[in-house]
Structure 1
């Protein structure tokens, strides 16, 4: 396991321990665990240990993975993509799932917000652990849900998060925002678009 993997695990154990433990002696040890994890992560990044802990400890309670949803919309052999304002690269529409949203509504909402198109989720193609799919290193542990979706209305429109919206041939993808999506994941979604009877992929 990498320093990031080990530090993330320490932070998760610390957060969960602070949630369940009432004994101040134990709580002090869990706070020290978070301090050590923050210092380890700071060695791997430009952030200070305090900044790392502040980013991590935005929630309390039992630590669980974050959920990212992505919508794959195809038109023939082309896929709908949005250009991210943050890095100027391309991705499938999507983002963090919101509390009280169902998975399908979360991805449908992201597609409309980022591309201007209304869509309907028709199949869950895959649930992938971000750590296992060639994404850049990231502080949080993330599960990524990829849905095959169909356009029901709307039209091309950018947003405060996106600067362009286009369809690209699946075989000729633009420069990808690989923190959000990889070419292999787009190909996976396309395979499920072509054959809806395929079982959902995972891990």
Structure 2
């Protein structure tokens, strides 16, 4: 007996809706976990915890499994490095765009942690807008480096992807974690944030200036 086309359409829609719901819940779960990690507000922490529990419950119902056992959400079972992205953004004068961090007043390259479901280029383009208010065009990859040995304290194990980019235009304000955005001579850097080291930054900039790709 032939399948009714309507039934096939409904089943396909169910599968797609389930996939979209799963992706949405994973994203919300990720936001909740990041919030729990970084917030110091007890009220916000309570809300993030509730969101984490709610999404976990919905994911269990959707997949018919118990996510309290060893799984993706228990990353300490098989720890892996976190991935961050940074952009070396050049203007027509050969200057690079740097952001001044609210945390310590020092400067660093625009960037941050890559989020779930983002490609590396999507992540760095988004970070450039959020941190520097800058719309950019990716030119190429400059570096894929192991940052952990340079971090003080060595907190979260980290790999960083560094991209060379062209500045297009400013499209908005930088976010609250940034004091200011400045164009600087790549060979005359301002005081750096504690988040980065002079050795790292100079190595990345040298690679960008000489069209090299470096890696660890």
Give your verdict on TM over 0.5. Answer: yes
Is the 8 Å Cα contact of residues 83 and 89 (structure 1) preserved in structure 2? yes
Is the 8 Å Cα contact of residues 129 and 172 (structure 2) preserved in structure 1? no
Shift of residue 156, structure 1, vs aligned partner:
7.1
Summarize the Cα distance change of 1:79–1:182 in structure 2 as closer, same or farther, 3 Å threshold: farther
Other-structure match for 2:88: 72
Is the 8 Å Cα contact of residues 68 and 94 (structure 1) preserved in structure 2? yes
Q: Which one of the candidate residues 93, 96, 101 is aligned to 2:110?
A: 93
- Count, aligned residues: 142
Post-superposition CA distance 1:151-184 (Å, at most 9, x none):
12225733111110001112221111132x3333
Distance 1:185 1:72 in 2: 13
Is the 8 Å Cα contact of residues 141 and 161 (structure 2) preserved in structure 1? yes
Distance 1:149 1:182 in 2: 21
Other-structure match for 1:192: 207
Summarize the Cα distance change of 1:120–1:185 in structure 2 as closer, same or farther, 3 Å threshold: farther
Q: Which one of the candidate residues 171, 192, 216 is aligned to 1:176?
A: 192
Shift of residue 194, structure 1, vs aligned partner:
3.1
Q: What's the RMSD between the two structures over aligned residues?
A: 2.1
Other-structure match for 1:18: none
Distance 2:168 2:95 in 1: 17
Other-structure match for 1:141: 157
TM-score using structure 2 length:
0.60
Shift of residue 77, structure 1, vs aligned partner:
3.9
Choose 1 or 2 for highest CA Rg.
Answer: 2
Q: Which one of the candidate residues 135, 145, 161 is aligned to 2:177?
A: 161
Post-superposition CA distance 1:110-137 (Å, at most 9, x none):
01111111112221111111133x3312
Distance 1:192 1:113 in 2: 25
TM-score using structure 1 length:
0.63
Other-structure match for 2:214: 201
Shift of residue 63, structure 1, vs aligned partner:
1.3
Alignment map for 1:100-115 (pairs within 5 Å): 100-115=117-132
Distance 1:165 1:157 in 2: 10
**SS of residue in 2 equivalent to 1:187:** helix
Distance 1:185 1:157 in 2: 27
Post-superposition CA distance 1:13-45 (Å, at most 9, x none):
xxxxxxxxxxxxxxxxxxxxxxxxxxxxxxxxx
Unaligned runs of 5+ in 2: 1-71
Is the 8 Å Cα contact of residues 121 and 149 (structure 1) preserved in structure 2? yes
Other-structure match for 1:21: none
